[in-house]
Amino acid sequence: MMRSQPRQHHSIFSTLLVLVPLLLALLLPYSASAVIEAVQFEDPATEQRYRDLIAELRCLVCQNQNLADSDADLAKDLREKTAEMLRDGRSDAEILSYMQERYGDFVLYRPPLSGSTLALWIAPLVMLLAALIGVLLTIKRRQAAELLRPAHQQNDKQRVQVRNLLKTAPDLNSQSTAGLQKSDPKGDSE
Amino acid sequence: MSLSSRTLRFGIPLLVFLVIAVFLGVGLTLNPRELPSSLIDKPAPAFKLNLLEQPDLAFTPSDLQGQRWLLNVWASWCVGCRVEHPLLNQLALNTDIPMVGLNYKDNPDNARRWLAERGNPYSKIPMDIEGDAGIDWGVYGVPETFVIDENGFIIFKHTGPLDVRAVEQEILPLFSLSTTP
């Protein structure tokens, strides 16, 4: 196996340096919410709770949108219901469980941890761990390969210089040149 | 390179690919609109709504306590309801299943005209004009069909237009009927 880049482990680390912040950026909660109708609340805190709740609840008609983003009739009704319950002084937990009782776990964008959702919750962690172990093993193996590499392969420039020197030394006896030619392809094919 | 590391190098991605392919393949055959109802084996939510044909009378699910009955959620604006309507007419004609048609967020005049054109399979038609009963029953896509048992518990729910398979294999057995009506 030929490994021609001498600084492979460096490039892996720089890739990680770019990748890790990118992946962390994915964890940022997305704050886009387009509420269609104006809903009035007495204080900004309740309005914020309203916005958080309708971002947390899934529209059941257009299934990949939350209540805040959806223009479906049912989403509008459920937004109204949410606002109504907030005005009645109900807690966030009460509102979420009201929706869950009627529409099931599916209505929650963060389903509760239970037997059927266990895989959903732990799969990302397992995959992240597997990926990390894979990356670490690869880095280790490449570093080991780097150390084991024969000295004459470490610098191709030097190698060419040595070849040129050998070519310009016609006085060398033919046996040693033949030996070099024999061993060279053998070393490459390993 | 030894055989085992070659096997690993090609085997692991292949295995991962196959697992993903199987999961996605199964996922393709599932109906994303068929959500598990959280109301199965729960008491039918109560409501008291006026009837389309006799607006001065009301219907409430406890009226049918002690009977096994069917609740069909429909509306004149609902396209899927047109598709399943002939099946409901057949059910009404050939069985004595009590069929209640919850008229969901509809205009009463449109609803009456719709039934006059297509036939009325329902024994009672409560009008849920605001859609509040719909929310309590977890309705998210009309038409929906529920079966409620003698004790007032929901034992079955079908989302979307009924088809012959659903009627023959799922609904009729619940009423101890087996053949095509």
Residue A103: which of B32, B38, B131 has the nearest Cβ? B38
Domain B49-179 has CATH 3.30.300.130: no
In the block, tokens 């309705």 appear at B139
Q: How confident is the model at residue B148 (pLDDT cuts 50, 70, 90)?
A: very high
Note whether residue A60 is domain-resident.
yes
Do the chains contact at A101 and B38, CB–CB below 8 Å? yes
The mean pLDDT values, 10 residues at a time, for chain A of 190 residues are 50 74 67 58 88 89 83 88 92 92 86 81 92 94 79 68 79 54 47
Note whether residue A74 is domain-resident.
yes
Percent of chain B with pLDDT over 90: 73
DSSP B6: H
Tell me the pLDDT tens digit for each residue of B31-44: 766 676 778 889 99
Note whether residue A139 is domain-resident.
no
Distance in angstroms (rounded) separating the CA atoms of residues B140 and B160: 10
Do the chains contact at B138 and A77, CB–CB below 8 Å? no
Pair A102, A157 in one domain: no
Mean pLDDT of B105-123: 95
How do beta strands B69-74 and B144-148 pair? antiparallel
Binding-site residues on chain A for chain B (CB distance < 8 A): 1, 60-61, 63, 73-74, 77-78, 81, 100-106
Domain boundaries, chain B: 1-30, 49-179
Note whether residue A56 is domain-resident.
yes
Note whether residue A80 is domain-resident.
yes
Domain that holds residue A96: 44-107
Tell me the pLDDT tens digit for each residue of B52-85: 989 999 999 999 999 999 999 999 999 999 999 9
Residue B140: which of A1, A61, A101 has the nearest Cβ? A61
Residue B37: which of A61, A63, A104 has the nearest Cβ? A104
pTM greater than the 0.80 cutoff: no
Into how many domains does chain A fold?
2
User: What are the backbone dihedrals phi and psi of residue B169, each rounded to the nearest 5 degrees, phi first?
Assistant: -95, -20
Q: Which residues of B touch A63 (CB under 8 A)?
A: 32-33
* pLDDT value at residue A36: 55
Q: Which residues of A touch B136 (CB under 8 A)?
A: 102
Domain end call among A92, A107, A122: A107
* pLDDT value at residue A1: 45
- What's the CATH number where A98 sits? 1.10.8.640
Q: Which residues of A touch B105 (CB under 8 A)?
A: 73
Neighbours of B153 (CB within 10 A): 14
What contacts B30, CB < 8 A, 6 or more positions away?
Answer: none
How far, CA to CA in Å, does A28 sit from each of A22, A108, A110, A122, B135?
10, 19, 15, 19, 32
Report whether B78 contacts B86 (CB < 8 A).
Answer: no
Task: Answer positive or negative: Cα dihedral of B92, B54, B45, A94.
Answer: positive
Mean pLDDT of B132-156: 92
Report whether A41 contacts A87 (CB < 8 A).
Answer: yes
